[in-house]
C-alpha cells in the first residue's frame, strides 16, 4: 500500500484553515499515487486545543470538517484526527478519535485508549479512554489505527508502565497487517532517538510495519518536531520525514512483510539531534508563536551579554533581521564593552538597533522614592529599579509599535529567581527560559559556527562568549556574586528540577551540601515569579510552565530532606 505521511503544521482552533491544509495535502498525495494519507492527532483543530474542547460549537465544526474532508477523498483516502462526543451518560464528554474517510464516506472511527496526564498532558480532563480496539479493512489490508500514546506502553521496553494495556499489541494480535499511528508528540532533547528505539521494538515484537505521522510546528510553549517515519516489520526505519518543517512523505508498505520500499521527498535531511535540534526547535517555536499570535516583528533588550545575544540571533533567523529591533538601555553601571558588544551584535545580525539611556529615569525614581527610602541601606530594591525601568520602556515600545517583546532570561536564572519580576521578565515570550546557562553558551557557539559554515561572520562577539556574565546593576557585579558557578548550578538544577531528586540524593552524589540547600531554597522560594512569567518554549524533559504544577503557598522543606532517609525509598 502506498501511504502518504501528511506532516502538517496546524493552527490551534483554525478548523477551516486546517481543513484546507489537509485537503491540499490529500490532493498532492493523490497526484503522487498514494492510496492513503495520514494526518496527525487532532489535526482538524490542532494540538493541544485545551479548553476549546469545552465549546459545543467546536465539536460540531470538527464533525463537519471530517465530512468535508471525506468529500475531497475521491481517489486517495485519509486518516484524520478529531474529537467526537461520547454518547454514554457516564464518563468524560468526548473521545480523542481518528477517522478513515474515503469517497464521501466515514469508513471507520477508532478512539484513543491511553490518555496521558503527565507533564504537559491533561487528556482525561476532556476524553474518555477507549477500552477496546477494532481492525479497519482497507484496500485488502487490515489496518490497526492508533493515536499517539497508544504506541508508547510496551511492557518489554518502558521501565514503568503507566497503563494496564498495550493497544498496539492488541491490534497486532487481532490480525492487523499494518499499524498506523497518528500523533502530536512534542519535542524534547533526545526524544526522537527514543521514539525510534521504542517503535522499532514494537515493530519487531509484533512483526508488523509501523507508519507514524507527527504534527510539526510551535503551539504556545510546545514545539512539535515532525520526524514522521515508517518502519518495516524488522523495526528498521524505511522512510523519514523532515524535522521541524512540514512535509509530505510517500512510502510503500507491504503488510506483514519487511519488503517495503521508501520514496522520501528529495533532499530530506537526516534528523538533527543535540544542540542542533534545540536550535531548530527554538527557531520554529519563536517563528510560529509570533505568526500564530499575529505579530510580524519583535523587540528585545540587548545588554551585551550572552543571553540577549542568543535570543536576538534566534529572532533574526526566525523572523528575518528586518523584523527584529534590539534596544540598548545603558545605566550608570553599564560597561563600555557591554554597549559595544550589543552594537556589534546588531550590526552583524543586520537588525535594527536603538539606544535609550535610562540614567535620567533612574535618577528621577531615586529622587521620588528618596523620602520613603530614607534611613535604609541601598540594596536589591535600588538595583531592581533599573531592570523595571528597562522593562517599562520595552513594553512601551511593544505597545506603541506593535512588536512582540521577547524576554531573555535562561532556565538557570528563572529557576533561582535571578531575574526581576516586572523588569527583565516583562514580555510576551520567554524564548530561552528552558535553556540552562551552560547550554546557552553551547547554543551561541553553534549559532556562530552555522554562520561561519555559511560564509558569514560569526554574529555573537567573542568577548560576549568569554567575559564573566553580569546583570550590571551595581559596580563590578558578576553573576557568581550571588550564584554558584554555572556548571555546578546547572548540574544541581538538572537533578532537583528535572529529575525531582531530594537534596539528600544530590548531596550523596558528591555535591557540596550548602550549595545544594541554597539552590533548592532559591528554586522553591521563587515559584511566585515563575507563575507570572510569559510562556516559554519547552526543550527539556521538565520545563517551568504548565507542565510543572508546583504550589506557591507551601512549606515543603528541602533542608529536612538533606539527610539519609530512615527507610529506603522504593
Annotated catalytic residue within 73, 76, 148, 426: 148
CA distance 95 to 124: 10
CA distance 464 to 341: 7
Annotated catalytic residue within 21, 41, 128, 538: 41
Cell numbers that stand for 305 in this block: 551579554
Q: Are 369 and 388 in contact (CB under 8 A)?
A: no
Annotated catalytic residue within 73, 76, 112, 411: 112
Helix pair angle (306-319, 336-349), 10° resolution: 20
Query: Residue 476: left (phi > 0), alpha (psi -120 to 50), or beta?
Result: left
For every residue of 339-402, DSSP letters joined together read: HHHHHHHHHHHT-EEEE---HHHHHHHHHHHHHHHTTSPP-HHHHHHHHHHHHHHHHHHHHHH-
Q: How many residues does the chain have?
A: 570
Positions of E strands within 226-381: 229-231, 237-240, 247-252, 261-263, 298-301, 324-328, 352-355
Q: Are 305 and 338 in contact (CB under 8 A)?
A: yes
Q: Are 417 and 526 in contact (CB under 8 A)?
A: yes
- Strands in 324-328's sheet, in edge-to-edge order, are 352-355, 324-328, 298-301, 404-407, 429-430
What is the three-class DSSP state of 324? strand
CA distance 503 to 512: 10
What is the three-class DSSP state of 78? strand
Q: Are 523 and 503 in contact (CB under 8 A)?
A: no
* 293 catalytic per annotation: no
Q: Are 394 and 355 in contact (CB under 8 A)?
A: no
* 76 catalytic per annotation: no
DSSP β-bridge partners for residue 300: 326
* 2 catalytic per annotation: no
Cell numbers that stand for 559 in this block: 533542608
Q: Are 351 and 312 in contact (CB under 8 A)?
A: yes
Positive or negative CA dihedral for 519, 523, 524, 525? positive
* Residues designated catalytic: 41, 112, 148
Amino acid at each position: 500500500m502506498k501511504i502518504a505521511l501528511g506532516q502538517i503544521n496546524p493552527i490551534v482552533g483554525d478548523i477551516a484553515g486546517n481543513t484546507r491544509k489537509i485537503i491540499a495535502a490529500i490532493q498532492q498525495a493523490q497526484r503522487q499515487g498514494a492510496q492513503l494519507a495520514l494526518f496527525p492527532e487532532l489535526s482538524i483543530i490542532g494540538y493541544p486545543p485545551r479548553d476549546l474542547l469545552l465549546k459545543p460549537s467546536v465539536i460540531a465544526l470538527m464533525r463537519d470538517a471530517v465530512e468535508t474532508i471525506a468529500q475531497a477523498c475521491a481517489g486517495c483516502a485519509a486518516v484524520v484526527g478529531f474529537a467526537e462526543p461520547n454518547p454514554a451518560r457516564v464518563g468524560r464528554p468526548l473521545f480523542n478519535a481518528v477517522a478513515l474517510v474515503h469517497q464521501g464516506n466515514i469508513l471507520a472511527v477508532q478512539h484513543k485508549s491511553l490518555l496521558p496526564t503527565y507533564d504537559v498532558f491533561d487528556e482525561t480532563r476532556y476524553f474518555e479512554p477507549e477500552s477496546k480496539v477494532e481492525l479497519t479493512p482497507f484496500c485488502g489490508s487490515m489496518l490497526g489505527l492508533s493515536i499517539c500514546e497508544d504506541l508508547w506502553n510496551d511492557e518489554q521496553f518502558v521501565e514503568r508502565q503507566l497503563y494496564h494495556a498495550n493497544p498496539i499489541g492488541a491490534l497486532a494480535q487481532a490480525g492487523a497487517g499494518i499499524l498506523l499511528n497518528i500523533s502530536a508528540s512534542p519535542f524534547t532533547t533526545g526524544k526522537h532517538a527514543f521514539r525510534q528505539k521504542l517503535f522499532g521494538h514494537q515493530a519487531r515484537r509484533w512483526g508488523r510495519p509501523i507508519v507514524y505521522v507527527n504534527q510539526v510546528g510551535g503551539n504556545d510553549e510546545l514545539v512539535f518536531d515532525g520526524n514522521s517515519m515508517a518502519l518495516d516489520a524488522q523495526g528498521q526505519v524505511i522512510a523519514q520525514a523532515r524535522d521541524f518543517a512540514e512535509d509530505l512523505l510517500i512510502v510503500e508498505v507491504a503488510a506483514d512483510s519487511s519488503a517495503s520500499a521508501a520514496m522520501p521527498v528529495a533532499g530530506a535531511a537526516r534528523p538533527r539531534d543535540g544542540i542542533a535540534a534545540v536550535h531548530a526547535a527554538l527557531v520554529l517555536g519563536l517563528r510560529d508563536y509570533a505568526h500564530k499570535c499575529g505579530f510580524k516583528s519583535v523587540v528585545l533588550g540587548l545588554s551585551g551579554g550572552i543571553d540577549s545575544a542568543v535570543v536576538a540571533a534566534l529572532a533574526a533567523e526566525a523572523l528575518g533581521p528586518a523584523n527584529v529591533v534590539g534596544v540598548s538601555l545603558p545605566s550608570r553601571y553599564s560597561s563600555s564593552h557591554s554597549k559595544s558588544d550589543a552594537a556589534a551584535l546588531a550590526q552583524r545580525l543586520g537588525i535594527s538597533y536603538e539606544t535609550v539611556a535610562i540614567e535620567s529615569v533612574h535618577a528621577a525614581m531615586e529622587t521620588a522614592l528618596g523620602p520613603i527610602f530614607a534611613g535604609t541601606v541601598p540594596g536589591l530594591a535600588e538595583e531592581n529599579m533599573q531592570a523595571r525601568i528597562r522593562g517599562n520602556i520595552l513594553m512601551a515600545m511593544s505597545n506603541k509599535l506593535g512588536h512582540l517583546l521577547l524576554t531573555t532570561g535562561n532556565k538557570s536564572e528563572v529557576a533561582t529567581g535571578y531575574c526581576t519580576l516586572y523588569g527583565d521578565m516583562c514580555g510576551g515570550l520567554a524564548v530561552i527560559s528552558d535553556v540552562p546557562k551552560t547550554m546557552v553558551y553551547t547554543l551561541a557557539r553553534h549559532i556562530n559556527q552555522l554562520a561561519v559554515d555559511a560564509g558569514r561572520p560569526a554574529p555573537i562577539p567573542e568577548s560576549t562568549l568569554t567575559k564573566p556574565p553580569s546583570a550590571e546593576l551595581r559596580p563590578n557585579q558578576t553573576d557568581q556574586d550571588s550564584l554558584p558557578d554555572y556548571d555546578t548550578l546547572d548540574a544541581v538544577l538538572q537533578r532537583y528540577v528535572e529529575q525531582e531528586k531530594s537534596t539528600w540524593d544530590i548531596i550523596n552524589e558528591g555535591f557540596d551540601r550548602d550549595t545544594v540547600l541554597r539552590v533548592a531554597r532559591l528554586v522553591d522560594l521563587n515559584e511566585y515569579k515563575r507563575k507570572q512569567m510569559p510562556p516559554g518554549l519547552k526543550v527539556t524533559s521538565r520545563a517551568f510552565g504548565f507542565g510543572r504544577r508546583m504550589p506557591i503557598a507551601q512549606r515543603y522543606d528541602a533542608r529536612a530532606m538533606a539527610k539519609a532517609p530512615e527507610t529506603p525509598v522504593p
